[in-house]
Amino acid sequence: MPADKPANEGYTPDPNLIAEVAAFETEFVNQFNFPDGVVYDKQMSDHVLSFYAKGADMRFFDFMTPLEWSGDELEQHFKDIMANYSGQIELLDMKIHAASDLAAVTSIQRMTGIGPKREPYTLVLRVTDILVRKDGSWKFVHQHVSIPVDWATGVADFQATRKNVT
């Protein structure tokens, strides 16, 4: 592609499609906003997993080990991390590119709450989601969650900021 042409030339976003994907993302994030003392249960787990494609069609890269999650491992991963979760997730910034039945979403999210050792925490996360619409429903086929790392020190910056996201 010539350097003088923008990468998105010829792409005209459909505002209705963008709104549809934004509503899906917002509903997904909001399900993690529950008050202290609420126990993550099987019904919540089933609801969370309903946003994801099934089996090998889904690939999840979390900021914690192991390298990736998919299939039944993903269900167990959510059960394990949510057993001690209490908090809120705030969408600070979200960008959506969507066409037909495929969407890519990038976001910056702030997660605050009480961790497994009953200590307060704040994490600023970078999230990339790839969604496919099948039979009229959006599903995640890939999700990547990361935390910026200071390259000089090798230390994760859990509360990273940038000039337009505070």
Percent of the chain with pLDDT over 90: 36
Q: What is the pLDDT of residue 41?
A: 67
Q: Are 96 and 105 in contact (CB under 8 A)?
A: yes
Parallel, antiparallel or unpaired: strands 102-114 and 59-61: unpaired
Residue 12 pLDDT greater than 80, yes or no: no
Domains in the chain, number: 1
9 part of a folded domain: no
Residue 125: pLDDT band (50, 70, 90) is: very high
CATH number at residue 125: 3.10.450.50
Residue-level pLDDT at 166: 47
Does residue 162 sit within a domain?
A: no
In a domain, 160, yes or no: no
Q: Model confidence over 38-73: pLDDT tens digits? A: 666 667 778 888 899 987 788 889 888 788 888 778
Establish if 69 belongs to a structural domain.
yes
Q: State yes or no: pLDDT of 24 exceeds 70.
A: yes
DSSP string covering 7-62? TTTT----HHHHHHHHHHHHHHHHTT-B-TTPPP-HHHHHHHHTTB--GGG-EEE-
**Res 151: pLDDT:** 85
pLDDT at 4: 61
Amino acid in position 74: L
pLDDT at 164 over 50: no
Whole-number pLDDT of residue 1: 42
Token pair belonging to 128: 């990339």
Task: Quote the domain boundaries for residue 86.
Answer: 15-155
Residue 132 resides in a domain: yes
Q: Is residue 5 part of a domain?
A: no
Residue 60 lies in a domain: yes
Task: Name the pTM for this structure.
Answer: 0.84
